Amino acid sequence: MRRPIDSLFGRLVVLVIGVLVLSHVAWFTVIRLERDQTQTRYAVEEAAFLVDAVRQHIANSPDQPLPSSVRVVEPSSPDVPKPFTDVDTNRMPASFGRFIDDLRDRLPDGTDVRVGEPGGPPRLWVRGAKDANWIVVPVQPLRPPRSRDRMLLWLAIIFSTAVMAALFAAWQLQTPLRSLAQAVGRFGRGEPTPPVPERGPRELRQLTHGFNQMVREVEQTESDRAVMLAGVAHDLKTPLARLRLRAEMMDEAKVRDGVVRDVDSMAHIVDQFLVFAHDGADRSEPAEVDQQCERIVRSYRAVTVGAPSVQTRLTAGRDFALPAATLDRLLSNLLDNAHAYGAPPIVIETLRGANGWILRVMDSGSGIAAQDLIKASRPFVRLDPARGGSGHSGLGLAIVERLVRRAGGECDIRNREEGGLQITMTFPFDVVARSAEMLHGDELHEARMM
């Protein structure tokens, strides 16, 4: 099961949203704290200004009346509030307590600050060391911070806009990387790989340019090699045909049979060269793999002298279909390889796997040495030098792997625990589905026409 967080886009989304959430929460917290402190500082400065204004008024214009919200009270008045106690301080709201402390720090040393009795308008009673009377001024009410206000709305709008912009930027970065990853996958499977558009940051453009250049060089090298192999193989067919004709005209049967066998071995090698050099897509009609396997096994038993026992375990059903020519070449090469190097019985198996349809060919021989398994599918590699004269060029498994990859599948070569070699070819469901639709669509069309 694919997990979205495993992709580059998914991880960028998680990273971007996480960073934005942390930054916005920090920003909101700082703004709230700063707003509370600003409100407290403003109230402190306002109260200090009023107290100074009253003092100046008393000093300069004692005969002029004071504003109605401000008054001067004698120390002996019963209205003077009592000093703060620890209990009063604990009962006081935290914001108001900070306001009183900041106001005392703002006013000169020795200034007594008290708060009016609860129940009436909030008032401050201030008396400095040089003041004869108490100065009573109103207090600007400190609003407690609200849990929901317009800041949250603006925060949500800014956060949503930032997330959408960040996701768009992540998508713009992820798109060329995904295209490059898909192209690498196609190139690894041997499928045609068109040039990838060079988009994105400079480093990504450089990487894409290098990949496109590598693909062009590899394709040119493969094309040159295919042309060379096809040319050599094609040119050898005519002299081989003449050699066989002359061998058939020999009088001595023993020499004639030996020359004919050598010519046949050379012709088989030439045919393998031609198959390996063929680099075009298989345009043959699709066929049901189970039925085609049965037909190929019957033909193999009929035409191959001394063919070993071949068993079939075909359980895939009608939905497993592949191009007929590709399937013929796969099984022919694998059966020839098992006949030459393996031991009976040879088993051909089809089944539905977890990741795709499986075609498997097994023999009961000695298998391949563990250190040679990785070289088994390389072209022109013969693991046993003594096999060079038996009509084999080291292309059998290389042809199989190339055909499987060209059909969109994967090939796995390993030894069996019971003994012998096992070649497992896995074809993804979506790749096989196209062939199956072509096959069953044609059958349905023919049934309707009848």
Residue 71: inside a domain: yes
Write down which residue in 138, 153, 181 finishes a domain: 138
Q: With contact defined as beta carbons under 8 Å apart, do 423 and 349 qualify? A: no
In a 10 Å sphere around its CB, with 0-12 CB exposed, 13-18 middle and 19+ buried, how is residue 344 labelled?
Answer: middle
**Nearest 5°: phi and psi at 321?**
-135, 145
Write down which residue in 138, 155, 176 finishes a domain: 138
Which of 117-121, 177-181, 386-390 reaches the highest mean pLDDT?
A: 177-181
- pLDDT band of residue 379 (cuts 50, 70, 90) is low
Q: Six-digit token pair at 326?
A: 């590709």
Does residue 312 surpass a pLDDT of 80?
Answer: yes
CATH of the domain at 411: 3.30.565.10
pLDDT for the residue numbered 395: 62
Mean pLDDT of all residues in 51-77: 82
pLDDT for the residue numbered 447: 44
Residue 301: inside a domain: yes
Q: With contact defined as beta carbons under 8 Å apart, do 300 and 310 qualify? A: yes
pLDDT for the residue numbered 423: 92
- Which of 90-104, 329-343, 404-418 is least confident? 90-104
Higher pLDDT, 99 or 428: 428
Residue 162: inside a domain: no
Q: How far apart are CA 300 and CA 306, in angstroms?
A: 10
Does residue 382 surpass a pLDDT of 70?
Answer: no
Average pLDDT, the chain: 76
Closest CA relative to residue 399, chosen from 275, 264, 316: 275
Residue 106: inside a domain: yes
pLDDT for the residue numbered 450: 47
Does residue 111 surpass a pLDDT of 80?
Answer: yes
CA end-to-end span of the chain: 44
pLDDT for the residue numbered 361: 94
184 CB-near residues (< 8 Å, 6+ apart):
211
Q: With contact defined as beta carbons under 8 Å apart, do 376 and 413 qualify? A: yes
- pLDDT tens digits for range 275-294: 655 555 556 788 899 999 99
Residue 275: inside a domain: no
Mean pLDDT of all residues in 321-338: 86
At 277, is the secondary structure helix, strand, or coil? helix
- Which of 202-206, 312-316, 352-356 is least confident? 202-206
The total of structural domains in the chain comes to 2
Residue 148: inside a domain: no
Residue 170: inside a domain: no
Higher pLDDT, 147 or 268: 268
Cα-based distances in Å from 62 to 65, 73, 390: 8, 14, 130
- pLDDT tens digits for range 195-236: 888 887 788 888 889 989 998 888 787 777 667 666 666 667
Write down which residue in 111, 138, 165 finishes a domain: 138
Q: How far apart are CA 60 and CA 181, in angstroms?
A: 85
pLDDT for the residue numbered 352: 92
Residue 440: inside a domain: yes
Q: Which domain holds residue 131?
A: 4-138
- pLDDT tens digits for range 418-444: 888 999 999 998 888 877 777 766 554
pLDDT for the residue numbered 1: 44
